[in-house]
Amino acid sequence: MVSPATLQANRPPDVKEVHILWITAGLSCDGDSISVTGATLPSIEDVMLGAIPGLPKVHLHNPVLAVEVGDDFLKPFHDAAEGNLDPFVLVLEGSLPNEEIKDEGYWAAMGTDKATGQPITTCEWIDRLAPKAWGVIAAGTCATYGGIHAMAGNPTGAMGLADYLGWGFRTKAGLPIVNVPGCPVQPDNMMETLLYLLYQAAGLAPVIPLDDQLRPTWLFGKTVHEGCDRAGYYEQADFGYEYGTPKCMVKIGCWGPVVNCNVTKRGWMDGIGGCPNVGGICIACTMPGFPDKFMPFMDEPPGARVSGSLINWYGRMIRALRGFTNRTANEEPAWRHPRPELTTGYRPRHYGPAR
């Protein structure tokens, strides 16, 4: 990881403005940009309008959210590629196709190269911008690990940003790529990560902590199961067998016990929603092996068959014992009554035995 000294040495002096160059021209559905519009902690409006203390002024260049079009929209990207826009954070949405495996044409591009008259491929934009960026973020599972487009049998050779640039890639500031997976990305996860990097650029935050898959540790350090309201049902081997059940759903395909994601704790928008929170299963969309390692969806995961069988005897016993304790705890003590005798066990010191 990057040392604080290295980061400080590479921090632009007196950062007053930061540009965010957000490319959606990977193989994607623009779902991550749309998701981010629902963020509340912080909202994209608060970041852009300077409502958060300590942040430099932020300029966002995202084709889904921009009012500019054509050459006006692309100008900051060309300026950054030429070294005339500093500092900036590069955000990629969508997976990167392998442009080396075909004889003609291109898989994905954004804008036209004025010198050649040809489309500028997304990979070429990454080549031009990533080495000059202060920070680089892969937004969503397609950008982080390839996602749906990179599944077995795909014709494009699609991959995530770290696969393309190399997992040891470092930005101009010495930072690794920051992966924020999700299909789409959970809005507050993305905005909180972006906020962290903006504070870092301003010298107001330590080096961002990442796990070995380059995910922010405070967001992806726990599993779906650990934050799920249904986890207690699993422990008691009390499983549901239909969608919408309040019980544990591993028997109908939920991968929550082994998936790194915080949606059960964070919800989706303003603390509300999130797949298992509303009766849906976790299909592991934040994981590097998604989707191939988690198909077929809706079937009980192989590991759940083993662990479910092992927990059956233990869980049923625990459930029975807790049920017994629950019933006894739901009864008042016998000495609470209106009869003339006192049966609480109280014995006065000076007045003899109670009658």
Residue 54 lies in a domain: yes
Residues 58 and 48: their CA atoms lie apart, in Å, by 6
Residues 249 and 285 in one domain: yes
Residue 228 lies in a domain: yes
Q: Given a cut of 60, is residue 158 above it in pLDDT?
A: yes
The total of structural domains in the chain comes to 2
What's residue 86's pLDDT? 93
Q: What value does the mean pLDDT of the chain take? A: 91
Residues 166 and 278 in one domain: no
Residue 9 banded pLDDT, cuts 50, 70, 90:
very low
Residue 230 banded pLDDT, cuts 50, 70, 90:
very high
Residues 135 and 254: their CA atoms lie apart, in Å, by 35
Full-model pTM: 0.86
Name the one residue in this structure whose structure tokens are 């390692």: 293
Residue 341 lies in a domain: no
CATH number of 214's domain:
3.40.50.700
Residue 315 lies in a domain: yes
Residues 177 and 170: their CA atoms lie apart, in Å, by 7
Residues 107 and 165 in one domain: yes
Residue 168 lies in a domain: yes
Q: What is the amino acid identity at position 273?
A: G
Q: Judge contact between 121 and 169, C-beta under 8 A.
A: no
**119-121 vs 109-112, strand pairing mode:** antiparallel
In the predicted model, what is the mean pLDDT of residues 148-166? 97
Q: Given a cut of 60, is residue 12 above it in pLDDT?
A: no
Residues 296 and 150 in one domain: no
Residues 120 and 260 in one domain: no
Residues 70 and 206 in one domain: yes
Q: Out of 76-85, 98-107, 280-289, 326-335, which region has the weakest mean confidence (pLDDT)? A: 326-335
In the chain, what percentage of residues exceed pLDDT 90? 75
Residue 351 lies in a domain: no
In the predicted model, what is the mean pLDDT of residues 46-59? 94
Residues 50 and 109 in one domain: yes
Up-side HSE of residue 34: CA atoms within 13 Å toward CB? 7
User: Domain limits at 28?
Assistant: 4-218
Q: Is the peptide bond before 209 cis (omega within 30 degrees of 0)?
A: no
Residues 191 and 236 in one domain: no
Residues 50 and 52: their CA atoms lie apart, in Å, by 6
In the predicted model, what is the mean pLDDT of residues 202-227? 95
Residues 179 and 269 in one domain: no
Report the greatest alpha carbon distance in the chain.
Answer: 108
What's residue 177's pLDDT? 98
pLDDT digits (tens, 9 = 90+) for 333-354: 899 899 999 999 988 776 555 5
Residues 191 and 242 in one domain: no
CATH number of 306's domain:
4.10.480.10
pLDDT digits (tens, 9 = 90+) for 104-119: 999 999 999 988 999 9
